[in-house]
Amino acid sequence: MNGASRLRFASRMDAVAPSAVREILKAAEQPDILSLAGGLPAPELFPAAEIARAYADVLAHEPGGALQYGVTEGFGPLREWIAQRMTSQGIDTDASRVLITHGSQQGIDLMARVFLDAGDCVAVENPTYLAAIQAFNGFQAKVCAVESDDDGMLPDALEEALRTRRPKFLYVIPEFQNPKGTSFSLERRRRLLSLAAAHGVPVLEDNPYGELRFRGTSLPPLAALGSDATVVYLGTFSKTLAPGLRIGWMVAPPEIYRKLVISKQAADLHTATLAQRAAANLLERFDYEGHLKTLRAFYGERCETMLEGLKAPAFKAARWATPEGGLFLWIRLPPGLDDLALFQRALARKVAVVPGRSFFCEPGHHGFVRLNFSNVAPAKIQEALRRLGEAMAEGIREA
């Protein structure tokens, strides 16, 4: 190990570091903490018995194929199933354009590999999903935050970013965004696509939460809006079946698809064969639609509990948009309140939230916190909000 002091790491390692906020959140990982800080689906809804049956069936009837190496593109019948579901959602594709990945995080990473040189720019919503920024940083990209409101990116700001920063691609979560829980309006979707097309900039549409709408009307994904823009779509079973399977997918036009496959092959050869075959087996006989309905009702109820709790006087000066789906609710704190200070006050009361600053690309955003409702029982949501209200009231008094 003596040589370690002389190690010469890649320069990209200077651009990546464990997030400071993530380190802080580790302090909140105690069993006696009521945590609204997570981003996890509710484990009681994992279809564990159905998954067990699928694994047993696959291992009994096709053990050789299920345990052997597979092709990089993914298991054919699973790609077929996904292509059909995508088609039913208006995305014009066939299995030849579906690439199976180890979760949609890998899809973000592969897109970065295929498009990003050091110094290149990616345009993102502001705030946005933290681990996407980390993936882009890993390729030494500059992340260009486009001003966004509760209806998505502001078209003027996007146009300026496209013109002046020439991003290699746009990264957006149009439905129930992480961290805000809000969605692009239909008009903003169309505007984004026409601007992307006009500037010849592809769009990476990340849609992990789209199936979890419990209120309002579904809007078509960007990939279904039939524009001239190039859209690469990311889907996942992490929020609808279980994240521990690590199965996501990309839908991409042929020219990009070929490069994604080459990159995936270098990255890890292919997605786990057994997990893919079990998922395909499961989906063939499982009432997926019925399961999604259960999920939506369940998360809708938890969100409702949270919205009820937020009616308490302590939150009167705070603001939030009512989520129509997904896992998160985003709170704008009353003027003068600081997210980290509130985090500490809440933690002193054994409640954890995520300081909002961790989702912004640039410093200076200290007036938000993210709350999760998917993985907390209603009674705990109520109690956590009661304590959070106390913490907030204390903060307001002292501000």
- 27 near a copy of itself, rule: CB under 8 A: no
Min dist CB 254 to a copy of itself, Å, is 8
Contact call for residues 256 and 114 (beta carbons, < 8 A): yes
Closest-CA residue to 132 (of 177, 165, 194, 91):
177
- 116 near a copy of itself, rule: CB under 8 A: yes
- Residues that bind a copy of itself (rule: CB under 8 A) add up to a total of 87
Site for a copy of itself in 165-224 (CB under 8 A): 168, 196-197, 200-202
Please tell me the distance from the alpha carbon of residue 209 to that of residue 207, in angstroms, as a whole number. 6
Please tell me the distance from the alpha carbon of residue 121 to that of residue 365, in angstroms, as a whole number. 21
Which of residues 113 and 213 has its CB atom nearest to a copy of itself in the complex?
113
As to burial, measured by CB atoms within 10 angstroms (0-12 exposed, 13-18 middle, 19+ buried), residue 237 is: buried
Min dist CB 166 to a copy of itself, Å, is 9
Choosing from 90, 216, 244, 336, the residue that interacts with a copy of itself (CB under 8 A) is 244
- 4 near a copy of itself, rule: CB under 8 A: yes
Site for a copy of itself in 214-233 (CB under 8 A): 228-230
Contact call for residues 202 and 215 (beta carbons, < 8 A): no
Which of residues 258 and 319 has its CB atom nearest to a copy of itself in the complex?
258
Please tell me the distance from the alpha carbon of residue 9 to that of residue 204, in angstroms, as a whole number. 30
263-282 footprint of a copy of itself as x/- string (CB under 8 A):
x-xxxxxxxxxxx-------
- 124 near a copy of itself, rule: CB under 8 A: no
- 120 near a copy of itself, rule: CB under 8 A: yes
- 16 near a copy of itself, rule: CB under 8 A: yes
Which of residues 59 and 393 has its CB atom nearest to a copy of itself in the complex?
59
- 18 near a copy of itself, rule: CB under 8 A: yes
Non-local CB neighbours of 278 within 8 Å, separated by 6+ positions:
51, 54, 55, 58, 66, 245
Contact call for residues 310 and 377 (beta carbons, < 8 A): no
Sole residue written with tokens 């809006």: 225
Contact call for residues 90 and 220 (beta carbons, < 8 A): yes
Choosing from 256, 346, 347, 354, the residue that interacts with a copy of itself (CB under 8 A) is 256
Choosing from 33, 131, 157, 393, the residue that interacts with a copy of itself (CB under 8 A) is 131
- 298 near a copy of itself, rule: CB under 8 A: no
Min dist CB 208 to a copy of itself, Å, is 12
Site for a copy of itself in 36-75 (CB under 8 A): 40-41, 43-44, 46, 48-49, 51-52, 55-56, 59-60, 63-70
Which of residues 49 and 217 has its CB atom nearest to a copy of itself in the complex?
49
Which of residues 204 and 342 has its CB atom nearest to a copy of itself in the complex?
204
304-306-311 Cα angle (round to 5): 100
Return the bridge partners of 149, or none: 152
- 12 near a copy of itself, rule: CB under 8 A: yes
- 31 near a copy of itself, rule: CB under 8 A: no
Min dist CB 339 to a copy of itself, Å, is 23
